[in-house]
Amino acid sequence: MQVRGLATPPRERAIHIALMAGAGLTIVVSAGLLAVLVFESVRFFGDVAPSRLAADTVWAPAAGRFGLWPLLAGTLLTTLIGVGFALPLGVLAAIYVSELAPPRVRRLLVPALELLAGVPGVVLGYFALHALTPALAQSLGLSRLNALSAGLVIGVMLVPMIAVLGANAMQRVPLNLREAAYALGASRLTTILRVVLPTARRGIVAALLLATARGAGETMIVAIAAGHVPRLGFDATQPTATLTTFVLDVSMRTGATTAPNAAYRAAFVCGLLLVAVTIILNVLAQRALASRPAQAPR
């Protein structure tokens, strides 16, 4: 805080200007990205009535069919599989890191989990294609490309994220609550289940929401392992397509000299929808974290 009457040192002023410029640039870039998505989406709806997206059940832009339901179904299916796989494993890992691991092990596990959370999706996608999908094909008789393998690998990607965020939430539980439970004769397991988890549930819910947002926005895993076949339904044994894989497909097929058409602008509609979902989930996660901390059950 600057004291009135005292001049700001030039170095501090330069740092302040640089920080303000960085923050302003971030806002400008984000606003520009959102403006482009909105502008192209409005142009799309000038050619295609919004009712066609809701009424049609086929997604075939080349044929003028813009039913959004197959892409929404694929996105929801792979995300639910991934979150359903990652949530129990992530919470168990968070419990071990926060409550059971010795300090030395914890110091090794937390950076390792943070590194695993940053593994590129393309690496995990090729793991799904060359390791997981052949195993599923041999054991369950599935096709080589399917939603199940993509969803499971999305879950593998989300486990470290949920584990780190969940462990942070559990470590914020006041120590006196644990000590009170032990003083009443509760075991460590009972304390974890009846005190730590209920008190940290808002942080765990926030981790779940953030993981869901990341899973819904994953592109390369689904593009490599799921087959990119728009299909209305929730059959995890079949290939599927998502909002992100369609955007990727349009980006790869559309050259710099290609005139934009409805199929091209449909990618911006999908992108705008993904941005809206991500913003909503992040706002909900922030509200969960900002809410009054939950009290342990009596």
pLDDT at 160 over 70: yes
- Comparing 31-45, 173-187, 282-296, which segment has the lowest mean pLDDT? 282-296
pLDDT of residue 70: 92
Residue 133 lies in a domain: yes
- The token pair at 133 is 């999908």
Burial class (CB in 10 A: 0-12, 13-18, 19+), 49: exposed
Q: Quick one: average pLDDT of 254-262?
A: 59
Residue 150 parent element (H or E): helix 147-171
Could you tell me the CATH number of the domain that includes residue 151?
A: 1.10.3720.10
Q: What is the pLDDT of residues 129-159, one digit of tens each?
A: 888 888 888 888 777 888 999 999 999 999 9
Residue 3 lies in a domain: no
pLDDT of residue 133: 85
pLDDT band at 50 (very low <50, low <70, confident <90, very high): confident
Residue 285 lies in a domain: yes
Residue 216 lies in a domain: yes
Cβ neighbours of 144 (radius 10 Å): 13
Residue 284 lies in a domain: yes
Q: Identify whether residues 149 and 124 lie together within a single domain.
A: yes
- The token pair at 155 is 């879950």
CB 98 within 8 A of CB 171: yes
Provide the number of structural domains found in the chain.
Answer: 2
pLDDT at 285 over 80: yes
Give 170-214 as a DSSP string.
HHTS-HHHHHHHHHTT--HHHHIIIIIHHHTHHHHHHHHHHHHHH
In the chain, what percentage of residues exceed pLDDT 70?
A: 92
Higher-confidence residue of 140 and 202: namely 202
pLDDT at 205 over 80: yes
Q: Identify whether residues 216 and 102 lie together within a single domain.
A: yes
pLDDT band at 51 (very low <50, low <70, confident <90, very high): confident
Residue 89 lies in a domain: yes
Q: Identify whether residues 147 and 254 lie together within a single domain.
A: yes
Q: How far apart are CA 238 and CA 249, in angstroms?
A: 19
Q: Identify whether residues 108 and 215 lie together within a single domain.
A: yes
Q: How far apart are CA 146 and CA 229, in angstroms?
A: 9
For the chain, give the mean pLDDT: 87
Burial class (CB in 10 A: 0-12, 13-18, 19+), 170: buried
- The token pair at 54 is 């809701």
Cα-Cα-Cα-Cα dihedral sign, residues 138, 231, 281, 129: positive
Q: Identify whether residues 222 and 94 lie together within a single domain.
A: yes
Q: Identify whether residues 165 and 41 lie together within a single domain.
A: no
Q: How far apart are CA 240 and CA 226, in angstroms?
A: 6
pLDDT of residue 151: 94
CA distances, 167 to each of 29, 119, 201 (Å): 33, 20, 11
Q: Quick one: average pLDDT of 93-114?
A: 92
Burial class (CB in 10 A: 0-12, 13-18, 19+), 159: buried
Q: Identify whether residues 226 and 264 lie together within a single domain.
A: yes
pLDDT of residue 66: 85
Q: Identify whether residues 30 and 160 lie together within a single domain.
A: no
pLDDT band at 8 (very low <50, low <70, confident <90, very high): low
Residue 60 lies in a domain: yes
pLDDT of residue 291: 66
Q: Quick one: average pLDDT of 185-211?
A: 92
Q: Identify whether residues 118 and 264 lie together within a single domain.
A: yes
Q: Identify whether residues 217 and 133 lie together within a single domain.
A: yes
Q: Quick one: average pLDDT of 75-83?
A: 95
Q: Identify whether residues 112 and 27 lie together within a single domain.
A: no
pLDDT at 32 over 60: yes
CA distances, 182 to each of 96, 176, 298 (Å): 18, 10, 14
Q: Quick one: average pLDDT of 186-190?
A: 89
Q: Which residues pair with 65 in a beta bridge?
A: 60
Query: 32 is in which domain, residue-wise?
Result: 10-47
pLDDT band at 4 (very low <50, low <70, confident <90, very high): low
Residue 78 lies in a domain: yes
Q: Identify whether residues 227 and 267 lie together within a single domain.
A: yes
Whole-structure pTM value = 0.86
Q: What is the 3-state secondary structure (H, E, C) of 25-75?
A: HHHHHHHHHHHHHHHHHHHHHHHCCHHHHHHCCCEEHHHCEECCHHHHHHH
pLDDT at 77 over 90: yes
pLDDT of residue 75: 94
